[in-house]
Amino acid sequence: MRVSVLDCTLRDGGYLNNWQFGNGTISNIVEKLGLSKVDYIELGFLKNKSYSDFNSSHITDITNISLKPNDSLFVAMIEIGEYDISDIPQYKDDILIFGFRLMFRKKQLKEVIGIARKLQKLGYEIFLQPVNIMDYNLQELIELIQAANKINPYATYIVDTYGFMNKYDLMEKFLLLDSNLNKNIKLGYHSHNNLQLAYSNCIELIEHNTQREIILDSSVFGMGKGAGNANTELILSYLNEKFGANYDIDQILEIIDIYISKEKEKNPWGYSLLYYLAAITKSHHSYVRFLLDKKTLSIKSIKEILVSLDETKKMNYDEKYISQKYFQHQTRNINTKEDFTKLKEEITTSEILLIGLGSSVRKEKAQIIKFIQHHKSLKVIAINHVPKDIRTDYIFISNMKRYSQISSSTADIKIILTSNIDPGFIQPDFTLDYKSIVDETTILDFGGIMFIKALALIGIKKVILAGFDGFKGHDLYVDKMYDFGSYDSNRKCAFKAQLKELSKIIDIENITK
């Protein structure tokens, strides 16, 4: 068995910087990759002329590539449906691109075979790159193999688009393809590192006994969207050490030091909770991002929602669909009328002070304490936290992540939960209907906004606020433990707009800045 390595830094890594490596950087990376003796270099996506950009690694004219040839073989990727191959000329010796990697979806199999034949007639080698091979059932894999055998491409790939594959998944696909593809077709593997398995899966293939030539895709420093790719420097080092290969690793390390390290500082990639959750639930990463960005759900709840997604929807992101699933998860069908009435009886005749999570609670604590001391009949209700050293009568909790931060030592404080919260071992004093106090159109479930709506429904005419800072400045929270990440301007505007709307139906007074 011969193992070759294809470096895809300039194409796959380009997702992070919009392919803006810079013309000089592209030339130097290609030169150093050639000096490293890596077998193949993917120069970028082939794009139509409207994408022409001097500093981009996209290729718009394969007859005019300003790179010096080296001992590596140059390839480019065509995404089927995104490029018109009529611009591609007959192959000649002075054209640097020797082959095209054809990236296609399952439904495009017939189309890609037709395009492959045309490119083969023009004299180019073909690499078949089926997106997300984990989505192929046995019959679909057989159809893929039969189609590949008819056109006899240079290589056919196992593409783990979403980083789901462990070694058992990989070997199941590999053995099927290895046993049934024409013997002269090389078998490639393109990995992603969602489960930190890209490198170990590559080693699994390297160690497997087969007569077929294997091509392993990798990128320098693992550069690639999300969790990244297998690392070129690690794969080459392993082949040097274990199989006596002669790759020059220093050239790759120079690329990391001079170019790729600074890219990682600007656009980080690598293993993360987001891509891990996407991999273990076999869901599109944008679904995970949507749910994490809510900053209201426990990880357990996020997993429950992802697992519940329809199989036909899981890998095709649909924001409207995930919004509906989120709202359904948050809306539990329980009767809260009795608790609502009981809370109304307890607080209707009192002044109400709501204490939010803003940093002004810490900065103006003395003023808040003094205000409470001068208003003896005041009902103090904290939103999604327990204020330190401030008398608190109730805690209102609408956010499962905040709920997990609440200490069990709240014996003297009454607990108000929204119906989306699973109380666990803590018995709440009141449960309010989530659906009745959240904005269904935006589902921006700000705890303070939700409770002010509840007060308005109860009939309270005035509410006093402390710590409702509106996400101003950089020091947002009373304590850093409550900071789950930055909030964009849209979220800040939405908070301000909703508070302004509520001021039309309930008198709002702020005692902190």
Tell me how far apart the alpha carbons of residues 383 and 344 are, in angstroms, rounded to a whole number. 17
- Spatial strand order of the sheet with 462-466 comes to 430-432, 414-418, 394-397, 379-383, 352-355, 462-466, 507-510
Name beta bridge partners: 379: 352
Q: Tell me the one-letter amino acid at 126.
A: I
Distances (CA, A) of 257 to 57, 224, 247, 289, 325: 20, 17, 18, 31, 45
Say if CB 97 and CB 154 are below 8 A apart.
Answer: no
Tell me how far apart the alpha carbons of residues 265 and 287 are, in angstroms, rounded to a whole number. 26
Q: Residue 80: which residues within 8 A CB-CB, separation 6 or more?
A: 102, 103, 104, 105, 108, 111, 112, 115
Phi/psi-derived region of residue 384, left when phi > 0, alpha when psi is between -120 and 50, beta in every other case: left
- Please identify, in words, the CATH class of the domain defined by 3-266: alpha beta
Name beta bridge partners: 482: none
Tell me how far apart the alpha carbons of residues 311 and 229 are, in angstroms, rounded to a whole number. 26
User: Would you say the pTM of this structure is higher than 0.75?
Assistant: yes
Residue 258 token pair = 């001079």
Tell me how far apart the alpha carbons of residues 462 and 418 are, in angstroms, rounded to a whole number. 22
Q: Which residues in 191-209 are b (16+ Cβ under 10 Å) and which e?
A: bbbbbebbbebbbbbbeee
Tell me how far apart the alpha carbons of residues 495 and 40 are, in angstroms, rounded to a whole number. 52
Tell me how far apart the alpha carbons of residues 323 and 314 are, in angstroms, rounded to a whole number. 14
Q: Which residues make up the CATH 3.20.20.70 domain(s) of the chain?
A: 3-266
Tell me how far apart the alpha carbons of residues 400 and 405 are, in angstroms, rounded to a whole number. 9
Tell me how far apart the alpha carbons of residues 364 and 494 are, in angstroms, rounded to a whole number. 25
3-state secondary structure at position 169:
helix
Give the pLDDT means over successive 10-residue stretches in the chain (513 positions): 94 96 96 98 92 89 91 97 94 96 97 98 98 96 98 98 95 97 98 96 95 97 95 98 96 97 94 94 94 88 94 93 90 82 90 94 94 92 92 92 73 89 83 84 78 93 92 80 72 84 93 90
SS (H, E, C) 185-210: CEEEEECCCCCCCHHHHHHHHHHCCC
Neighbours of 257 (CB within 10 A): 11
Q: Tell me the one-letter amino acid at 399.
A: N
Tell me how far apart the alpha carbons of residues 12 and 79 are, in angstroms, rounded to a whole number. 13
Query: Longest C-alpha distance within the chain, in Å?
Result: 90
Q: Which residues make up the CATH 3.90.1480.10 domain(s) of the chain?
A: 337-510
Q: Residue 446: which residues within 8 A CB-CB, separation 6 or more?
A: 495, 498
User: What CATH number is given for 337-510 in this structure?
Assistant: 3.90.1480.10
